[in-house]
C-alpha cells in the first residue's frame, strides 16, 4: 500500500475511467499527457487503496454513477477528504506509551497515530476501556479482595429501591442463571 499515487497508478485510474465513461478518453498524445499531468497534480497525495476501506476505483465508479457529467480529479480529491475527515472524527487518541513528562515524545506519538489514521494506514481507535472486555486486571484483583463495588450495608439499604435487581441477585445466589448475563 502506497501512501500516495504514482503516475502509473493515475494512468490506471484514467484507463478505468475510460472504460466506465468513454467521454473521458483522450486520443491525442498531447491531450493524454496533459490529462495525466492534471490528474497527477491533484491526486498525487491520495492513496490508490488503503487497508481501511478506501479504493480510488470505487470512488471513480460512484462518481460515474452519481453524475451525468464526466468525473473530474477534484471529485475524487473531495471524496478522499470526506473519507479522511470521517476517519478522524471516529478516532479517539489512545494514551501514548511515551513518558507523559516528556512532552515532545508524547505529542510526537499522538501526531504519528493521527497521521496513520488519516492516511488509512491504521484503523480509528475507540476507547480501549469501553471495548477491552472488562476491567483492568488490577481493578479485578482489588474487587476480588473487596468482594463488591457496593458494600454489603449499602446494598441492603438500597434493596427496597431496587426490587428487580434484588430479586435477580437472590436468584443468582440460589444457583439460577443470571437473566442479564
pLDDT tens, residue by residue, 84-135 = 998 888 888 888 888 888 999 989 999 999 888 888 888 887 765 455 566 6
Q: What is the pLDDT of residue 38?
A: 95
In this prediction the pTM is 0.62
Residue with more model confidence, 139 or 178: 178
Cα 1 from Cα 49, distance rounded (Å): 7
Counted domains in the chain:
2
Q: Which helix (H) or strand (E) holds 75?
A: helix 73-90
Convert the pLDDT of each residue in 44-68 to its tens digit.
999 999 888 899 999 999 999 999 9
Q: Check: CB of residue 173 under 8 Å from CB of residue 166.
A: no
Q: Give me the domain span that covers residue 124.
A: 1-98+112-134
Convert the pLDDT of each residue in 15-27 to its tens digit.
999 999 999 999 9
Task: Looking at the structure, tell me whether residues 63 and 81 fall in a common domain.
Answer: yes
Residue 154 exposed, middle or buried by CB count within 10 Å (0-12, 13-18, 19+): exposed
Q: Is the dihedral of CA 110, 49, 3, 84 positive or negative?
A: negative
Q: Check: CB of residue 52 under 8 Å from CB of residue 60.
A: no
Task: Looking at the structure, tell me whether residues 127 and 150 fall in a common domain.
Answer: no
DSSP state of 54: -
Q: What is the pLDDT of residue 1?
A: 47
Task: Looking at the structure, tell me whether residues 145 and 116 fall in a common domain.
Answer: no
Task: Looking at the structure, tell me whether residues 47 and 94 fall in a common domain.
Answer: yes
Amino acid at each position: 500500500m502506497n501512501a500516495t499515487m504514482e503516475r502509473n497508478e493515475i494512468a490506471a485510474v484514467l484507463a478505468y475511467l475510460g472504460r466506465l465513461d468513454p467521454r473521458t478518453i483522450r486520443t491525442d498524445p498531447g491531450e493524454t499527457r496533459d490529462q495525466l499531468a492534471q490528474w497527477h497534480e491533484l491526486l498525487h497525495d491520495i492513496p490508490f487503496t488503503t487497508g481501511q476501506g478506501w479504493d480510488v476505483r470505487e470512488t471513480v465508479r460512484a462518481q460515474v454513477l452519481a453524475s451525468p457529467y464526466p468525473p473530474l480529479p477534484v471529485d475524487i480529491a473531495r471524496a478522499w477528504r470526506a473519507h479522511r475527515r470521517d476517519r478522524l472524527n471516529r478516532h479517539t487518541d489512545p494514551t501514548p506509551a511515551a513518558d507523559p513528562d516528556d512532552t515532545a515524545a508524547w505529542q510526537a506519538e499522538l501526531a504519528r497515530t493521527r497521521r496513520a489514521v488519516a492516511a488509512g494506514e491504521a484503523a480509528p481507535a475507540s476507547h480501549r476501556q469501553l471495548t477491552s472486555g472488562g476491567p483492568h486486571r488490577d481493578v479485578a484483583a482489588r474487587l476480588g479482595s473487596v468482594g463488591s463495588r457496593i458494600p454489603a450495608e449499602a446494598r441492603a439499604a438500597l434493596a427496597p429501591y431496587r426490587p428487580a435487581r434484588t430479586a435477580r441477585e437472590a436468584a443468582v445466589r440460589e444457583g439460577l442463571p443470571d437473566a442479564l448475563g
